[in-house]
Structure 1
């Protein structure tokens, strides 16, 4: 049986050798040794018309539903039915304080202090609220630096902010681009851009994990570089939260935003998260949009008081939150709290390392992994480029019971999620992919 040594875990170098092998038996052996394998049973795995589990590799688009979610939501529905408005104070988990039940566990997921984290609104709404506070353009320093292939919603939000402030929405955007013939970004190019144009840049906004390539950036390095040139620095962590160890507090970033329906498994369109660094917690000079939920809790219901801003991330809230969505988030965060990000990332690296090995073993010249090979520079997503392929390949995979994500012009995004994907899933994915390729 063919055998290969692969790099694994802490460094992404050959310091921690592990042996991957071909064949289903080896995948099953890995699953038997996997301490997180039982957590798969806590999620609903989509099935085909014959009742067979699908190979679900799109947790980077929509995470699977924890089986506990219904119980958590039903409890709030029950309290609403029996208590009505009194549920704000008398529910088992009083709604008035419900967002506080999520704060500590969400902070642990993203590597922050509780005072720095709030669950509220949706991702792009939070991004706009952060730009209200941290994008402070002047006539000469007004430009915003983003990745050239950032997620479209971020680009649209940035362009609209520029227009709102009276600037040209094309001239005001500076792109961090990959080099010719490459897909990944180089920090040296970012440094060069800032050296040449840093005096014009007011804000750096980068996706912590790029949605297309899966490249995970060094947030601390980017933040320190941006701050050297007087730029505010923020990150869209939609593809990072629950996937990689973001360590937001120690990164020094001014702010970050993320959704909760991808790796955090809270359901389609569920509420998002927001991070504002502790050094901004008590600043009242920062411009912001406000609402009654950012007002002092002790006097919030007195109604006629002057605005009294809450400290920390809570001070950016606007409205009372949707409890049913928060209940779904609570169900998922309780699982994350049991497992911990260290264990999740360890298994994630093993899963993607195994997927990487199997794809390389195909020895197909048209198949190329465009995600970083270094495990420190990626999460659980591997983006697979198939030269000259079109979306028919994706449709064939779907018909074969493999749920992946297609991105034009020729990339399949696969995300083996450590909470519910198995090594057998990875093996079967590659076997079916190989069969489709050999069909011609």
Structure 2
């Protein structure tokens, strides 16, 4: 498509958008009496309007049925996490029994590593991208320490080449092969939070497994943003949060994928009542027998009120379709990139890959100076984006609720702010 740098062109794109009505399903923060331009779904998604009624349903069940709400009511709580698996399976490309919902992102990462990071004296290293999100860094660091290894030796961090900000696929594959005798696990972020680079998940997964390592993924910035095929790509495990593109609210419950070949009672794990075989769960006997699917990793009673917003949001994803959202997202982000390239380009650099298949909804603008001040000015002008040290403003138009006119107005204000600096 040939883009035009005009408001009327943006409005025409919106008029042609078959997903535009989903915007009305969300609440926007307000700025000077109007909706703010919200490009921060990569940190926290907006609240779906249907969440309030959905929470009321469960409050009513609790009020009227109390403990019987586990077995009766509109959505019997005993099975609440199962209501989410079908929608998530479509988004991440998995079988329903390869999905479970529980805990929070980093908790789930630790649980998966306790199952799949089984170091030996020979094979004990974990590979990840340099500059991964701090939570992942801390999780990996403490896991290797737990087994008595030195993080400076046991953790292999892959950095971009000198003068570059993006990791090359061939460098990741080479690094894996270079460590083929000692590598136990790879745990990359599907999309790097700082650069916005979408890694080649099937390529890296295959390279890791080829040398005998386990391939795990943190898909916090991928799930609900870019459709995946975790089952077909043979990914061993993946974890994600639900408060970003999945719009499930602050601190929302996390998600887990475990490939069906691992989801059997013999796979080691930390156990809890909710992961025990349901046929004997209420016998209250000793001896943990895991459910033979991903929910065999569940520990505690389903967090009903921490799943209500996710259930409501996933209903919108079901209606819109993740492939349709991805198509709109590519167009939105390409339009954003086109408009940004018309600006005083020496003020910043777009460090996110230009290839639309190597990124999601996020473009990262690197400012050599005044990045934080420019971010604050954008916020004061009703453009809600976020800032990450050093010098990056992340701009993420989520396709469920962002419009092409939003993109046009955002870049216009960015231009005005740059002209004052």
1:29 is the counterpart of 2:12: yes
- After TM superposition, give the deviation of residue 367 of structure 1 in Å: 2.1
**Residue 20 of structure 1 aligns with which residue?**
3
- One of 23, 44, 56 as aligned partner of 1:74: 56
Whole-Å Cα distance in 1 between the matches of residues 14 and 169 of structure 2? 37
Q: Extract unaligned runs of 5+ from structure 1.
A: 1-17
2:321 — aligned with what?
Answer: 340
Query: Aligned match of 1:250 in 224, 232, 238?
Result: 232
Please give the residue correspondences for 1:21-420 in structure 2 after superposition, counting only pairs within 5 Å: 21-48=4-31, 50-282=32-264, 284-304=265-285, 306-420=287-401
Following TM superposition, by how much is the alpha carbon of 1:386 offset from its aligned partner in structure 2, in angstroms? Answer: 2.1
TM-score, normalised on structure 1?
Answer: 0.94
1:396 aligns to what SS in structure 2?
helix
Q: 8 Å contact 2:215–2:236 — kept in the other structure?
A: yes
| Deviation string, structure 1 residues 199-231 (Cα, Å, up to 9, x no partner) | 111110000111111111111110110011111
Q: Is the 8 A contact 1:299 1:305 kept in 2?
A: no
CA distance in 2, matches of 1:96, 1:210: 36
Q: Which moved more, 1:185-194 or 1:111-120?
A: 185-194
- Mapped partners of 1:373, 1:277: distance in 2: 32
CA contact (8 A) 1:159 1:170 kept: no
Partner SS, residue 27 of structure 2:
coil
**Residue by residue, what CA displacement relative to the aligned partner does 1:120-172 show, whole Å, maximum 9, x if unpaired?**
11000100010011001001211110000111100100000001001112221
**SS of equivalent residue, structure 1 residue 280:** coil
Give the CA deviation at 1:305.
Answer: 5.0
Q: Which residue of 2 aligns with 1:5?
A: none
Distance 1:389 1:363 in 2: 15
Structure 1 residue 363, shift from structure 2 partner:
4.3
Contact 1:276 1:313 in 2 (8 A): yes
Would you say 1:421 and 2:402 are equivalent positions? Answer: yes
Measure, in 2, the Cα distance between the counterparts of 1:72 and 1:359: 39
Distance in structure 1 (CA, Å) of the matches to 2:19 and 2:111: 37
Q: What is the Cα-based RMSD across aligned positions, in Å?
A: 1.0
TM-score normalised per structure 2? 0.98
**Count of aligned residue pairs for this structure pair:** 421
Distance in 1 (CA, whole Å) between partners of 2:177 and 2:72 is: 57
Distance in structure 1 (CA, Å) of the matches to 2:260 and 2:164: 37
Aligned mates of 2:41, 2:378 — CA distance in 1: 16
Q: Is the 8 A contact 2:347 2:418 kept in 1?
A: no
Select between 189-198 and 213-222 the one with higher mean Cα deviation.
Answer: 189-198
In structure 2, runs of 5+ residues without a counterpart are none
